Structure 1
Amino acid sequence: MDLLPAIDILDGKAVRLAKGDYARVTVYNDSPVDQAKEFEQKGARWIHVVDLNGARSGSPENIDLVEKIVAQTSLSVEVGGGVRAIDTIARLVDAGAARVVLGTKLVTDKEFAQAALEDFGGALTAGIDAKGGEVAIEGWREGAGVPAADLVREMAAMGYGHLVFTDIARDGMQTGIDVAAYERIAAAFGHPVIASGGVATIDDVRALGAVAASIEGVITGRAVYEGTLDLEAALVLCARLS
C-alpha cells in the first residue's frame, strides 16, 4: 500500500482546497518543487499532483512544474487536472509522469477514454470524484448525474487497472476516512483503489490497512501539511501493510 502525499498546484503554488472549493484556498508552499523535495527527503516514493488551474480551465497549465519535479527528484509522479486531450497525456508522459489521471472525460467522452487507454495503457489512472454517491466533474464544480459505482464498473469493463476515488465531502476537511466506502468501490472496480479524501491521522491509514486487499494507495494532503499525520510514520506503516 503506497502513501501518496498530494501537491495541488494553483497559480504556481502548493495549496489545498476545502471540499474542492476554489474560494477556500490555503497556500502551504510557494514552490511545489521544493514541497516535492521535502516529501522525498521524508521517504515518499510517490506523489499525487493535481493541476487545479487545469482542472478549472480544461487544459493543464503547470506542466513545467511537473517537469521540474521529475527532473529534480526521484519521485514517481501521478498527475491529473484538465487532462482532456490525447496530446496532453502525451505531453505529461513525455514530461516524466508515471501515471496520468483522467477525470471529466471519463463521463463526457467515453470514446476518448477508450482511445486513451488503447494508446497509453497502464500509464493511465481513472479519477472518479464523488459527492453523495454522484460523480462530480469540471474541477468538482458540476454534478454529472452519474452514480459513482456505475462509472467505476464501466471503467473496469473498459480495462482501466488503476483508480483514484475521491470523497469530495471529506477532502481537505480531516474528518476521518470512510473505509467501507472504499471497500465497496474496490469491489465494484475489481481491483484495489487509491483512496483520497478525509485522512486526518495515522489511525485513518491504519484503518485502511485493515482492508489492505482493497487499497492500492492512499492520498493525503492537508493532514501532512498541518502536522496531524506524521508522514514518515505513515510511510513506514504503509510499507508494513504492503
Structure 2
Amino acid sequence: MIEIIPAISVVKLRVARVQNGNLDNIKIYDERPLDMALKFQDHGIKKIHLIDIEGARKGRIMNQEVIETIAGYTDLAIDFGGGINDDDDIRLAFEHGANAIHASTIAVNNKDLFSSWIISYGRNKIILGADVNNGKIATRGWSKSTEVDVIDLVDYFHNQGILYVKCTDINCDDSLAGPPFDLYKKILNKFPDIRLMASGGVRSVEDIDKLQDLGVYGVIFAKAYYEGLIKLKDLEKYFS
C-alpha cells in the first residue's frame, strides 16, 4: 500500500505553502504546525514531510524548534528538509527529533558529503531530493537551475546505496494539474528497487491510486488537502 505523507511547510512558526515554485510567493495559513500534525495523526497518518521554508531560503536550518515540538507531542515520523547543507545541520535535525532528512542542494554541490551521510546515518534516514524543472535538477529551494539530468543524479546516488528518492516536478507543484506520471514511470523503470516518493500536482484520491499502480512508494501532498480537494477521511482506506 502506498505511503501517505502530507507536507507541512513552516514560515514564522505557521503552516505555509510555496506557491508556483517561488520561495518569495508564500501563502501562510492560520494553523500552527503542531496543531496540523496532531490533526493528521488523529486520522491515521504515520509520517509527515516537514519543510523549513526559511531554512531553504537562508541555506541553514531556521525552525528546529518545530521539529522538536512535533517530535515531542506526536508519534509521527518526521521527514525534514530545508537548509541542510553541512554536518552540523544534519546533526541538528536529528538531535531535535527528525527521523529522516531530505536534501537536494548539497547532493548536487557536494556529492561526497551527501554520500558520506548515507554511510554514517544509514539509507533509511537519508532521502535524495531530486526536484526537476524540464528534466533538470533545481536547487536552493528551486531558485537555482542546473544542467544535471534527474536520471543521472539518481543513478549516481543509486550506486552509492541510496534507497529513498523524493521527486517533485516544479512545473506540477501547486498546479493541481496532476502528477508527472511519465517522469515517475521513467525513474521506476530505470531503478525498480528505489523507493520513490512522488510530490507535486496531486489533486485527488484517483491520482494517488494511479501512483500506487505505477509502483510509487509514497505520495507527498499539500495544496489538495489545504484547499479542501482531498479529505483526510478519504485517505483512511490506505491505512487498513
Query: How high is the TM-score relative to the length of structure 1?
Result: 0.93
Q: Is 2:115–2:157's contact at 8 Å kept on the other side of the alignment? A: no
Q: In the aligned structure 2, how far is the partner of 1:34 from the partner of 1:61?
A: 20
Specify the code of the residue in structure 2 equivalent to 1:126.
Answer: L
Q: Does 1:210 align with 2:213?
A: yes
Alignment of 1:148-159 (within 5 A): 148-159=150-161
| Counterpart-to-counterpart distance in 2, 1:43 and 1:92 | 24
Question: Are the structure 2 counterparts of residues 38 and 140 from structure 1 closer, same or farther at C-alpha, using a change threshold of 3 Å?
Answer: same
Consecutive unaligned residues in structure 1, runs of 5 or more: none
Query: Which deviations, in whole Å up to 9, do the C-alpha atoms of 1:194-224 show, x marking residues without a partner?
Result: 000100111111111221xx31100010101
Q: Does 1:124 align with 2:141?
A: no
* SS of structure 1 residue aligned to 2:49: strand
CA distance in 1, matches of 2:22, 2:118: 30
Contact conserved, 1:58 with 1:84, CA < 8 A, in 2? yes
Letter matched to residue 31 of structure 1: R
Aligned partner of 1:182 in structure 2 is 184
Does structure 2 retain, via aligned residues, the 8 Å contact 1:205–1:234?
A: no
C-alpha deviation, 1:120, in angstroms: 0.8
**TM-score normalized with structure 2 length:** 0.94
Report what 2:199 is aligned to: 196
Equivalent residue, structure 1, for 2:90: 89
State the alpha-carbon separation in 1 of the partners of residues 20 and 119 from structure 2. 33
Aligned partner of 1:22 in structure 2 is: 23
Q: Structure 1 residue runs of 4+, over 4 Å off?
A: none
Counting matched residue pairs gives: 237
Q: State the match for 1:142 in structure 2.
A: 144
How far did 1:162 drift? 0.7
Q: Which structure 2 segments of 5+ residues have no match?
A: none
Deviations 1:66-99 (A, max 9, x none): 1000101110110101111112112211222111
SS across alignment from 1:215: coil
1:8 is aligned to 2:9:
yes
Secondary structure (helix, strand or coil) at the match of 1:29 reads coil
Question: Equivalents in 2 of 1:28, 1:173: separation in Å?
Answer: 18
Q: Distance in 2 between matches of 1:39 and 1:95?
A: 20
- Percent identity, aligned pairs only, is 29
Q: What root-mean-square deviation, in Å, do the aligned CA atoms of Structure 1 and Structure 2 show?
A: 1.3
